[in-house]
Structure 1
Amino acid sequence: MTYEHLQVEKRGRVAWLYLNRPDKLNAMSTHTMNELRDALAAMRADKETRVIVFSGKGRAFCSGADLESKPDPDAPPSDEPTFLDAAQGMENELNGMTKPVIAALNGLTCGGGLELTMMCDLVIAAEGVKIGDAHSNVGMLPGGGSSVRLPRIVGINRARYIMYSGDFFSAAEMKEFGLVNKVVPAEALEEEVQALAEKLAAKSPLGLKRMKQLINDSYDQPTATALRAEKMVVKDHLHSFDAYEGGAAFAQKRKPEFKGY
């Protein structure tokens, strides 16, 4: 399937999803988010795709919302889908994705681009990338989760400073804050991310799916509740093919061939 604002490339069991509006610094319009929703749904359904990578074309990862698409406060009431409706549809797909998602930050990342980054599981950034919230610079509020996710990732005081100031921070600073997992030379970004994605793609799809589920579900739960839930999932997982295959491969000193069930 072809898209107007996206470019999708399959590299083995890894799907690369590029925001492709370089002249707009990959700002997300209503149309962009509708395409993202559809592309993510297709990747979720594709059994051959085990890992998804987000990146951007040009000198930005994503500069946030396309301000030309923002809601008009003077527009009359309507039941037509809005910019925020499109954003919610895209977020539902991404937040519900059971496969690992890696953000490969190739350039400027701010506003909605930062929010998109925080919806991913892992973040690899090129040296020289600048990252910020930026909503305060244009008198806007975050609508894609910054006020919720950022304090949990970097701590409430850092989140306040990042959001209130509208300043931009280096990839190295954001690694220190806990937002970025790894910083790599710009020319090596895609090679490094592809290698990581292939490593994850070789793991048990069912195992990674359930790990992601356990981490996400337990984050705000009391420790005792989360531990009980973990035991229940593990008990079920022990009856899976992938758990059996992992044990058999270890005993036979061979690479496991996981099937995802």
Structure 2
Amino acid sequence: MSYTAITVAHDQGLATLTLNAPDKLNAVSRKMIAELKECWEALAADGSVRAVLLTGAGRGFCAGADLSDPDRGKEGGDSGSALETFFNPVIRLMRSMPKPIVAAVNGPAAGVGMSFALAADIAIAAKSASFLQAFARIGLLPDGGSTWFLPRLVGEQRARALAMLAPKISAEQAKEWGLIWDVVEDGELMKTATEVARGLADGPTLSLARIKEAMNRASGNPLSQQLDLERDFQRELGRSEDFKEGVLAFLAKRKPAFKGK
């Protein structure tokens, strides 16, 4: 598919999705979010894609919604309609797609840009990156799922402070609080994130999909129900070719060759 506000590159099961408005620090226009929705749908349905790496072009990851976008006026000032039509479907697609997503946060991640990073399965940031829940600064509340992600990741007090006080925090602080997985030197970010994403793309994709689904369901399940879910998923995975290959490779002390079957 052809896009203008984003780019997508494919390499042996790994898709790299890049937000491509570097002159605006990849602020999200209506065109960009529409392309993102279409792209995530396509990546989820593409059997050749086993993992996705998400990043931003230039010196920013994503500066949030593009408040200067002339298309914003088409909702008639209804910000909720914009979320329902454009942004919420993207977050739902990211969380539900049965493939791991790695975010390489290469610069500022603000507003919904921070939500994109939190919606990924694993986020790795450059040392110069920063994170900001900017919504209260313009009289809104965090969206893109951030009111759901933040308390689960950092606890109620920190989540409320991040949302209400809107401080900009460093990548190191984000790692210390558990918002992201790791921080690396700027020049090492894409190499490190690509290696992680490549490892996932070459991994046991059935297992990874079930891990992701189980984690998603855990927040709404009581322990007894989650134990039943683990039982059912483990039964399914135990019959897979990947499990057989994993055991054989372990016994033979060699690297497994997973096929996602």
Q: TM-score when scaled to structure 1?
A: 0.92
Deviation at residue 71 of structure 1 after TM alignment = 5.5
2:211 maps to 211
1:163 partnered with 2:156:
no
Amino acid at match of 2:43: M
- Distance in 1 separating the partners of 2:244 and 2:129: 43
| Moved beyond 6 Å, runs of 4+ | none
Aligned identity (percent) is 35
- Distance in 2 separating the partners of 1:122 and 1:145: 16
- Distance in 2 separating the partners of 1:83 and 1:223: 32
Deviation at residue 76 of structure 1 after TM alignment = 9.0
Amino acid at match of 1:100: P
1:65 maps to 65
Amino acid at match of 2:51: V
SS of 1:180's equivalent?
A: coil
- Distance in 2 separating the partners of 1:74 and 1:171: 34
| 1:72-221 mapped onto 2 (5 Å cutoff) | 72=73, 75=76, 82=82, 84-221=84-221
> Structure 2 unaligned runs (5+)?
none
Residues 141, 163 of structure 2: 8 Å contact kept: no
Residues 6, 17 of structure 1: 8 Å contact kept: yes
Q: TM-score when scaled to structure 2?
A: 0.92
* 1:69-112 deviation per Cα after TM superposition (whole angstroms, max 9, x unaligned): 585599399xxx84640112322321221100011000011100
Name the Cα RMSD after superposition. 2.0
Pair 162,251 (structure 1): closer, same or farther in 2 beyond 3 Å: same
Deviation at residue 252 of structure 1 after TM alignment = 3.6
1:51 maps to 51
SS of 1:104's equivalent?
A: strand
Deviation at residue 203 of structure 1 after TM alignment = 1.4
2:228 maps to 228
The structure where helix makes up a greater share of residues is 2
| 1:26-37 mapped onto 2 (5 Å cutoff) | 26-37=26-37
Deviation at residue 143 of structure 1 after TM alignment = 2.5
Amino acid at match of 1:59: R
Residues 125, 189 of structure 1: 8 Å contact kept: yes
Residues 61, 108 of structure 2: 8 Å contact kept: yes
SS of 1:68's equivalent?
A: coil
> Structure 1 unaligned runs (5+)?
none
Residues 7, 18 of structure 2: 8 Å contact kept: yes
